Amino acid sequence: MHVVDPLFHKIQELLLKGRPYPVNLARQSFGTSSDIDQLIDRCLDTSELPGPERHYYIDLTPFERVGGLGRLIESIIVNPNRCGAILTMSRPILDEISSEYEHCPLPVLFFQKDGELEEIIGFSDVYGACRSHVELDFRYDTNRLNLSEFRRILARANLTKLLFDADCIDTPRLSDELEPTTEISGRLYRVMPNGMLVSCYLKLKDLGRDTNHLMRIAYEIMLNLFDYFRRDSDPLPNFDLIVAPNNTSLLIASMVRAIIEKPVLPIDRLGPIPSLQLHSERLKEFLFERRVVVIEEVVATGSEVDRTIMFLNHMGASLEKVVAAYNLEIGKPMLIDSHKMVSLCRPKRMLDYVYRSQIDALS
């Protein structure tokens, strides 16, 4: 499934201009003639779309009003080989489409305020097959996907693709001079500082080589923090600040901060649990009774999340959520309720990721 995210591009544009509160501003201000032109270009740019799929989605759910919808629809239906389907949660947008078209020439998926898929309108002879693909994607006749579930599927796909696009997967090579490597049963492993072996390493720090990549991952995190813009709740006020437990998380969290303008506090190098007692009163003042969201770039064993939770507990902060971009599913944190932790991408199987001890190697 492929999605064109006009909100993402609008936020990018605003960040480049140094405008504050870009996500709020983007949601309010999207819809200028230039915005629609750029959106049309992206929709028609078939190079962006995966090969065999005929359809893609245009996610307008963050917006309450969008001008130029008629022009958008008329422009994208010129390409009969690619069908765009519009996602919206806004009744005014739906009404505008309905008022312009008795039979909308492309599928429009309307979501209720809580993100549940209410209906799909729009049908045409040209896009008859497209409509059926859309219905299939959303399991329309059986167990319908809601917006959140759909976007989570997309997040998994996007973040998996990002690992390759950003060349973040570091596979061990015997010729590596700087990193220790060992071989077991014909497979190479990187030796980690704690002595454990890993079959590959996610070098998410390399996302910084292109701030667009950094933004992509931050965008998915932001969508999750905003609960995919469902209208029956306003999640943003539900936390006060973002905490990053290591420096690579901080790199990503800083980009999230730039988008949503919530403060970010790094609390790296927590170390073993006893050292938590040494952390200062200053930090305690800062965190006491604050509602905190933790952003992790990768969760493997879950121990860093546990240390972070213990630390926040010690500081008197209230943990609202942990959002992990990637979860390698080696273990899981013991100190968090499962509903408070979100993992956007679980690439363990795709990477054939192995985390093991050196015991066999030593023998």
Q: Which residues bind another protein (CB under 8 A)?
A: 15-16, 18, 20, 64-65, 91-92, 178-179, 192-193, 201, 203, 205-206, 208-211, 214-215, 237, 240-241, 246-248, 250-251, 254-255, 257-258, 261-266, 268, 275, 278-280, 282-283, 285-286, 288-290
For the residues of 128-142, what is the DSSP string, one character each? HHHHHHHHHHTTTTS
Nearest by Cα to 218 from 189, 255, 273, 192:
255
Specify the residue, 34 or 194, whose C-beta has the smaller distance to another protein: 194
CB of 297 to another protein, least distance (A): 11
Rounded Cα gap, residues 129 and 31, in angstroms: 29
CB of 178 to another protein, least distance (A): 6
User: Sign of dihedral through CA atoms 257, 6, 47, 347?
Assistant: positive
Specify the residue, 278 or 359, whose C-beta has the smaller distance to another protein: 278
CB of 15 to another protein, least distance (A): 5
Rounded Cα gap, residues 129 and 55, in angstroms: 9
Nearest by Cα to 252 from 222, 209, 297:
297
Give the burial string for 257-293 (b: 16+ CB within 10 Å, else e): bbbbebebbebeebeeeeeeeebeeeeeeebeebebb
CB of 214 to another protein, least distance (A): 7
Specify the residue, 157 or 265, whose C-beta has the smaller distance to another protein: 265
Token couple for 153 = 């599927």
Rounded Cα gap, residues 89 and 291, in angstroms: 28
CB of 137 to another protein, least distance (A): 29
Specify the residue, 83 or 258, whose C-beta has the smaller distance to another protein: 258
User: Sign of dihedral through CA atoms 62, 262, 222, 45?
Assistant: positive
CB of 259 to another protein, least distance (A): 10
- CB count within 10 Å of CB 193 equals 6
CB of 1 to another protein, least distance (A): 28
Q: How is the chain split among helix, strand and coil, in percent rounded to 5?
A: 45, 20, 35
Specify the residue, 24 or 38, whose C-beta has the smaller distance to another protein: 24
CB of 76 to another protein, least distance (A): 24
Specify the residue, 281 or 337, whose C-beta has the smaller distance to another protein: 281
Specify the residue, 58 or 287, whose C-beta has the smaller distance to another protein: 287
Question: Token pair 């077991």 is at which residue?
Answer: 184
Specify the residue, 92 or 128, whose C-beta has the smaller distance to another protein: 92
